């Protein structure tokens, strides 16, 4: 195969060489997506009457629909552009991400999804505070929900800005900021109008487009190698000029510290998913625990198939375009998938893939916003401020205002986070979720003696330790790619805190409980135990 | 809003001690806990090998496909297999028992008249559509 970066000069007649394809095609296809989804959102919003409608989609989605929506929520731009790019540049090490992201779903399937659906209503805090003291536990759970959602949001918004330079030919900071504002405004519109129902439909449409688009590219790329995967790997080796692309170590094999760092990342990935609030909230959109189980099964198959596709796409980009050409393109690592699309199918395929990438960001951002809004309105406003006396109407109203505030924060933060390391923010979100949320979720579902103090120690301990360790890690200062260049106050050698903060949070939850003399209400514990396994008293679908 | 009747706290305490429920709990935990330990160890073994023993990963199996690629793909395969095994276990051993206990508890609650009977909650015994992809 030719190793020349053919893709880039082809576009030179239409625009400067810093940009590939035809921006008007990209904008046109994206505009069509926005129009279609807006119509769907408007139709879906007609039945938004109660809080269960607005915040949990009326609990009336089927397992298959919700599973597709979960895949839509989970396969963010970081998954699609990030993993394809990581494989294209670092070879095998990029593949390791997708394995962690997939295996993580077994934690959700076996330990969390069904029991969560059986015991909660809207948020993660419903489950955590079920048999513990409502107020302190809800506040802690809500703070960590908002923290995780915010980091995830900023990563997606920053990713949107970075994509623009490549896809729309807007490279100025001001131009990128305009795009971030547009994405933020659209997100607010979707969530205000459609609530969880509208958001779910956006996720379903987007997941379908993303998987079909990536699948077409995969078949196309494989066809170039006679449908021989080994030959495709051979092409990647030939372009890279080294066998190392097929072996672990290009990114994480440099030193003992980077190897430990990799294990830390692996731990955060596999344990983070089942603690991500926007993933957990999706389990409330189905009528029963059995449907929640089906959702996860669907999600595992779709997400697994998608990551297999990204393996092919990543090595195809590596073989057909080459790591150096990708790194040199605007958008850097993130440009591997769009460049491959352009190489295969010209401006039209690039336009489709570009539009899908934007849709991905938009849909994930909408899912995060509704989660954060639900947590604030239901946990902080409804349960703590109004002490459970808030009406449905009030909770929905507060949720809507929260969406507007979160949208504005995301826009401002996204503009500020431009050029920041996007993968860092996503990995932070996973590490915080695995440290602050997962231990408490598992303890409250599986351990009878767990107490309020254990929950608070574990949640605050996990949240604070993971954030502090990141603040003093090489990602923030003291390395070539640090967020704050030029200064060095790093004290912690790893860029991912998971290896320390996750076990710490588990230990804190245990010590906090066993040293606690106060006994939690055994009747509440019995109720949660029985409900979590049988589904007695769980809220069913809303009837219209 | 369709909400099932809520049983009284004593009912929950009673059921928690009953043999039927402890059996359900045993069946659930004896499957999910060992399986979780297994897949976490299997995953961590893979991650540790990838980080510290890359020379094993680079051994060629066929063509350009090496141990690392095969082992990575096996993580996908094991995830799909565990998913299917769990769905089968839940459908056969957990769901019938769980729905027995639920029906019994809801009947108790209706008898005690704590909360009016539900209007139209989903019927747990209703035939379920084909299991997707499992």
At residue A455, the pLDDT reads 96
At residue A544, the pLDDT reads 64
Whole-number Å distance between alpha carbons of A409 and A415: 10
CATH of the domain at A338: 1.20.1740.10
What angle, rounded to 10 degrees, do the helices at A256-272 and A92-107 form?
30
- Identify the closest residue of chain A to B36 by CA–CA distance: A107
CA distance B37 to chain A (A): 10
Among A284-298, B68-82, B97-111, the minimum mean pLDDT is found in B97-111
Average pLDDT, integer, range A96-123? 92
Residue whose entry in the numeric block shows the structure tokens 């679908």 = A541
User: Does pLDDT of B122 surpass 50?
Assistant: no
Record the tokens describing residue A200, joined without a space: 């779910």
Of B13, B58, B68, the CB nearest to A523: B13
Query: Is A304 in contact with B79 (Cβ distance < 8 A)?
Result: yes
As a whole-number percent, the residues of chain A with pLDDT over 70 amount to 94
User: Does pLDDT of A17 surpass 60?
Assistant: no
At residue A266, the pLDDT reads 92
Whole-number Å distance between alpha carbons of A194 and A209: 20
pLDDT in tens, B65-79: 999 999 999 999 999
At residue A37, the pLDDT reads 85
Q: End-to-end distance of chain B based on CA atoms, in angstroms?
A: 32
At residue A495, the pLDDT reads 86
Q: Output B113 or A112, whichever has higher pLDDT.
A: A112
Domain of residue A290, residue span: 16-417
Among A30-34, A123-127, A526-530, the minimum mean pLDDT is found in A30-34
Of A92, A106, A247, the CB nearest to B79: A106
Paired strand residues for B62 = B65
Size of interface A-B (CB pairs under 8 A): 199
A304 touches chain B (CB under 8 A): yes
At residue B114, the pLDDT reads 53
As a whole-number percent, the residues of chain A with pLDDT over 90 amount to 45
Backbone angles phi, psi at B105, to 5 degrees: -65, -40
Q: How confident is the model at residue A140 (pLDDT cuts 50, 70, 90)?
A: very high
At residue A222, the pLDDT reads 95
Record the tokens describing residue A95, joined without a space: 């593949």
Q: Quick one: which of B36, B122, B87 has its CA closest to A298?
A: B87
Q: Is-contact A418 A161, C-beta < 8 A?
A: yes
Query: Is A540 in contact with B79 (Cβ distance < 8 A)?
Result: no
For A81, A530, B1, the CA distances from A537, given in Å and listed in that order, are 42, 10, 13
At residue A295, the pLDDT reads 95
Output the CA angle A519-A108-A396, nearest 5 degrees. 75
Query: Is B51 in contact with A262 (Cβ distance < 8 A)?
Result: yes
Residues of B in contact with A443 (CB under 8 A): none
Q: Output A243 or B91, whichever has higher pLDDT.
A: B91
pLDDT in tens, A256-273: 998 999 999 999 999 999
Contacting A residues, span 437-456, partner chain B, CB-CB under 8 Å? 446
User: Does pLDDT of A226 surpass 60?
Assistant: yes
SS3 category, B64: coil
User: Does pLDDT of B93 surpass 90?
Assistant: yes
User: Does pLDDT of A154 surpass 70?
Assistant: yes
Residue whose entry in the numeric block shows the structure tokens 């932070």 = A428
Choose from A248, A262, A544 for mutation: most chain B CBs within 10 A: A248
Of A298, A524, A537, the CB nearest to B6: A537
DSSP B119: S
User: Does pLDDT of A303 surpass 90?
Assistant: yes
At residue A499, the pLDDT reads 95
Residues of B in contact with A229 (CB under 8 A): 65
Q: What is the pTM of this model?
A: 0.89
Question: Would you say residue A206 lies in a domain?
Answer: yes
Q: Output A510 or A26, whichever has higher pLDDT.
A: A510
Among A229-243, A369-383, A423-437, the minimum mean pLDDT is found in A423-437
Query: Is A530 in contact with B44 (Cβ distance < 8 A)?
Result: no
Q: Output A518 or A115, whichever has higher pLDDT.
A: A115
Residues of B in contact with A102 (CB under 8 A): 75-76, 79
Of A95, A247, A296, the CB nearest to B54: A247
Tell whether the torsion through CA atoms of A113, A115, A120 and A125 is positive or negative.
negative
CA distance A466 to chain B (A): 21
Whole-number Å distance between alpha carbons of A461 and B1: 38
Whole-number Å distance between alpha carbons of B4 and A288: 12
Q: Is-contact A17 A83, C-beta < 8 A?
A: no
Query: Is B9 in contact with A106 (Cβ distance < 8 A)?
Result: no
At residue A421, the pLDDT reads 63
Record the tokens describing residue B17, joined without a space: 């001690």
Among A288-297, A351-360, B17-26, the minimum mean pLDDT is found in A351-360
Q: Quick one: which of A74, A35, A45 has its CA closest to A367?
A: A74
Paired strand residues for B66 = B60
Q: Quick one: which of A28, A73, A44 has its CA closest to A190?
A: A44
Q: How confident is the model at residue A308 (pLDDT cuts 50, 70, 90)?
A: very high
Record the tokens describing residue A226, joined without a space: 């006679």
Query: Is B86 in contact with A536 (Cβ distance < 8 A)?
Result: no
Question: Domains of chain B: which residue ranges?
Answer: 9-112
Average pLDDT, integer, range B76-101? 96
**What residues have CB less than 8 Å from A460, skipping those under 6 apart?**
A140, A436
A542 touches chain B (CB under 8 A): yes
DSSP string, chain B: --BPPPPPHHHHHHHHHSHHHHHHHHHHHHHHHHHHHHHHHHHHHHHHHHHH-HHHHTSEEETTEEHHHHHHHHHHHHHHHHHHHHHHHIIIIIHHHHHHHHHHHHHHHHHHTSSPPPSSPPPTTSPPPPPS--
Average pLDDT, rounded, for chain A: 86
At residue B133, the pLDDT reads 39
Using CB atoms within 10 A of its CB, is residue A506 exposed (0-12), middle (13-18) or buried (19+)?
Answer: buried
pLDDT in tens, A408-419: 988 888 887 776
pLDDT in tens, A514-542: 999 888 888 999 999 999 999 888 888 87
ipTM entry:
0.90
Average pLDDT, integer, range A136-148? 94
Of B12, B21, B25, the CB nearest to A527: B12
Q: Is-contact A471 A489, C-beta < 8 A?
A: no
Residues composing chain A: 544
User: Does pLDDT of B90 surpass 90?
Assistant: yes
User: Does pLDDT of A432 surpass 80?
Assistant: yes
How many domains, chain A? Answer: 1
Query: Is A252 in contact with B51 (Cβ distance < 8 A)?
Result: yes
Among A381-385, A425-429, A491-495, B49-53, the minimum mean pLDDT is found in A425-429
pLDDT in tens, A445-455: 999 999 999 99
Record the tokens describing residue B91, joined without a space: 């459908």
User: Does pLDDT of A481 surpass 80?
Assistant: no
Q: Quick one: which of A75, A126, A471 has its CA closest to A281?
A: A126
Q: Output A237 or A161, whichever has higher pLDDT.
A: A237
Q: Output A194 or B67, whichever has higher pLDDT.
A: B67
Contacting A residues, span 53-112, partner chain B, CB-CB under 8 Å? 62-64, 67, 92, 95-96, 99-100, 102-103, 105-107, 109-111
Whole-number Å distance between alpha carbons of A51 and A378: 9
pLDDT in tens, A395-409: 888 999 999 999 998
Q: How confident is the model at residue A63 (pLDDT cuts 50, 70, 90)?
A: very high
Among A66-70, A194-198, A215-219, the minimum mean pLDDT is found in A194-198
A297 touches chain B (CB under 8 A): yes
Record the tokens describing residue A100, joined without a space: 């962690």
Q: Categorise residue A227: left if φ over 0, alpha if ψ from -120 to 50, beta otherwise.
A: left
**What residues have CB less than 8 Å from B127, skipping those under 6 apart?**
none
Q: How confident is the model at residue A466 (pLDDT cuts 50, 70, 90)?
A: very high
Instruction: Give Cα A225 distance to the centre of its chain.
Output: 32
Q: How confident is the model at residue A19 (pLDDT cuts 50, 70, 90)?
A: low
């Amino acid at each position: 195969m030719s190793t020349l970066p053919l893709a880039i000069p082809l576009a030179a007649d239409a625009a400067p060489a810093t940009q590939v394809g035809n921006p008007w095609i990209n904008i046109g296809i994206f505009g069509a997506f926005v129009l279609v989804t807006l119509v769907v959102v408007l139709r879906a919003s007609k039945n938004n009457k109660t809080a269960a409608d607005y915040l949990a989609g009326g609990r009336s989605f089927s397992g298959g629909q919700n599973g597709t929506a979960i895949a839509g929520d989970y396969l963010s731009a970081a998954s699609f552009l990030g993993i394809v790019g990581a494989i294209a540049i670092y070879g095998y090490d990029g593949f390791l991400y997708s394995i962690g992201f997939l295996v993580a779903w077994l934690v959700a399937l076996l330990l969390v999804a069904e029991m969560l659906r059986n015991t909660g209503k809207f948020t993660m805090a419903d489950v955590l505070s079920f048999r513990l003291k409502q107020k302190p536990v809800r506040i802690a759970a809500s703070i960590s929900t908002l923290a995780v959602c915010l980091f995830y949001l900023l990563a997606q918004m920053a990713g949107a800005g970075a994509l623009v330079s490549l896809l729309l030919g807007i490279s100025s900071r001001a131009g990128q900021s305009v795009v971030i504002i547009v994405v933020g405004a659209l997100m607010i519109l979707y969530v205000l109008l459609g609530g969880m129902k509208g958001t779910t439909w956006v996720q379903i449409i987007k997941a379908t487009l993303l998987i079909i688009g990536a699948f077409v590219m995969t078949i196309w790329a494989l066809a170039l190698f006679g449908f021989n995967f080994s030959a495709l790997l051979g092409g990647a080796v030939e372009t890279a000029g080294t066998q190392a692309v097929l072996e672990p170590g290009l990114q994480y094999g440099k030193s003992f510290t980077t190897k430990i760092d990799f294990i830390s990342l692996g731990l955060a990935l596999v344990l983070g998913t089942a603690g991500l609030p926007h993933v957990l909230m999706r389990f409330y959109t189905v009528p029963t625990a059995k449907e929640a189980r089906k959702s996860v099964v669907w999600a595992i198959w779709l997400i697994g198939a998608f990551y297999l596709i990204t393996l092919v796409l990543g090595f195809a980009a590596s073989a057909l375009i080459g790591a150096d050409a990708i790194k040199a393109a605007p958008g850097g690592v993130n440009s591997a998938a769009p460049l491959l699309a352009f190489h295969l199918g010209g401006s039209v395929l690039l336009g489709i893939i570009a539009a899908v990438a934007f849709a991905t960001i938009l849909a994930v951002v909408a899912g995060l916003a509704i989660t954060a809004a639900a947590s604030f309105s239901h946990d902080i406003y409804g349960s703590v401020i109004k002490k459970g006396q808030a009406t449905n109407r009030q909770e929905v109203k507060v949720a809507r205002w929260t969406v507007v505030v979160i949208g504005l924060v995301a826009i401002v933060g996204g503009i500020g986070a431009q050029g920041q390391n996007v993968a860092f923010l996503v990995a932070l979100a996973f590490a915080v979720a695995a440290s602050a949320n997962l231990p408490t979720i598992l303890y409250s579902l599986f351990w009878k003696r767990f107490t309020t103090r254990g929950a608070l120690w574990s949640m605050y301990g996990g949240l604070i330790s993971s954030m502090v360790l990141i603040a003093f890690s090489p990602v923030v200062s003291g390395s070539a790619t640090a967020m704050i260049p030029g200064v060095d106050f790093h004290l912690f050698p790893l860029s991912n805190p998971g290896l320390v903060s996750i076990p710490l949070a588990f230990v804190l939850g245990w010590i906090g409980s066993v040293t606690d003399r106060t006994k939690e209400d055994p009747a509440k514990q019995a109720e949660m135990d029985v409900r979590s396994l049988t589904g007695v008293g769980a809220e069913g679908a809303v009837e219209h | 809003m369709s909400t099932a009747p809520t049983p009284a706290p004593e009912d929950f305490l009673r059921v928690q001690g009953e043999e039927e429920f402890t059996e359900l709990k045993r069946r659930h935990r004896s499957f999910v806990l060992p399986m979780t330990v297994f897949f976490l160890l299997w995953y961590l073994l893979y991650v540790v090998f990838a980080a510290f023993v890359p020379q094993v990963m680079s051994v060629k199996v066929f063509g350009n496909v090496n141990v690392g690629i095969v082992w990575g793909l096996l993580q996908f395969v094991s995830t799909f297999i565990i998913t299917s095994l769990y769905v089968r276990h839940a459908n056969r051993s957990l769901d019938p028992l769980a729905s027995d206990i639920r029906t019994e508890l809801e009947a108790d609650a209706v008898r005690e008249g704590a909360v009016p009977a539900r209007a139209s909650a989903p019927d747990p015994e209703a035939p379920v559509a084909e299991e997707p992809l499992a």
